[in-house]
Every structure is written in C-alpha cells, then in structure tokens.
Amino acid sequence: MIALNNDMIRMRPAQREDVPRVAELIMHGASVQKRTPDEIAAEAQDPVYLEAFETIAANPYNTLFVAELEGKVVGTYQITILPGMAERGRIRAKIESVHVAPETRGRGIGAIMMRHAIGFAAEKGVGLLELTSHKARPDAHRFYNSLGFVQSHEGFKMALSP
C-alpha cells in the first residue's frame, strides 16, 4: 500500500476479474478512438480481452498490474521483461498501456504506478526501462520526462493484423 494524501493506493498483479475494468481504462485512454461510456462498457465485455489476459498471465516475462483506490481499480500498466544480447546482455523491460481512470487523474496515481514499475524492474535485474507514448499525448510526455525518462529514440510500428 502506498499513501496518496489520505488515500491508500494498492498495486497488485491483475486478476481475471479485473479484465473488463482494465479494458475500460485502456479505452478511456486511447488517444485515437473516442467512444461513449456505454460503448466502452459494452466493448470491455468482449471475450478477446480475457484471451489477451490469459496470454499475458501465462508468460513469465509479462505482468499486468492494477492500482486500486478504496477497492476500485483506477489504474493499470503492463511490463514485459526483455532479455537480449545488446549491451552485453543487459536486460530491458518495456512498460505499456499505462492508464489512469479519468475521474482520478491529476492525483499522483500515475507517478505511484511508475515508481512501482521502476521498483519491479529493478527487482528483476532490469538495466534499461523503456516505454512508448502516442505522439498525440504531450501531457503524458511531460509526465514521463518529469520522472526521469528521456526521449532518446524514434519508434516505429507496423500493424500485421487489424
């Protein structure tokens, strides 16, 4: 438990029953797809999210975390440990899908989640932590810079399926 003003934030690995809420948080944070709350709630029930969760949970290099406030999931992120050959085999980790519930943004929950990610990565022997953020999210970029992340590379993506 981590104190946030008078509130306590609990960080824990996501569980199967968290999946619809995690899907909602991700959709609320999507910068390119805007949906109504009803559309988001309906989409979050799609079984594809449970399938994705099961795949993540089955991989020892992946962990999906949630942040709880007063028993309610208000944030999420995924971290993937990436063993590699570069830099004399330095282990990397990638943080993805960092989202905080719209109604709780600006309260420091994202900073707590990122400190948690940094600590988790350090415990796993990670030497380099990476994350990406959509170019359309300058506020998120300022946030990550304030935590010590440096915009050192240009990223590229290629969609292989819809």
Distance from C-alpha of 9 to C-alpha of 7, rounded to nearest angstrom: 7
For 3-41, what is each residue's pLDDT tens digit? 555 568 999 999 999 999 999 998 886 655 677 777 877
Helical ranges in 44-108 per DSSP H: 47-58, 86-89
Residue 137: both structure tokens together: 């999210």
Average of per-residue pLDDT across 134-149: 89
Contact 110, 11 (CB under 8 A): no
Closest of 109, 129, 110 to residue 118, by C-alpha: 129
- Report the percent of the chain where pLDDT is more than 70: 93
pTM, 2 dp: 0.89
**Please, what are the domains in the chain?**
7-146 (3.40.630.30)
Distance from C-alpha of 144 to C-alpha of 146, rounded to nearest angstrom: 5
Contact 98, 48 (CB under 8 A): no
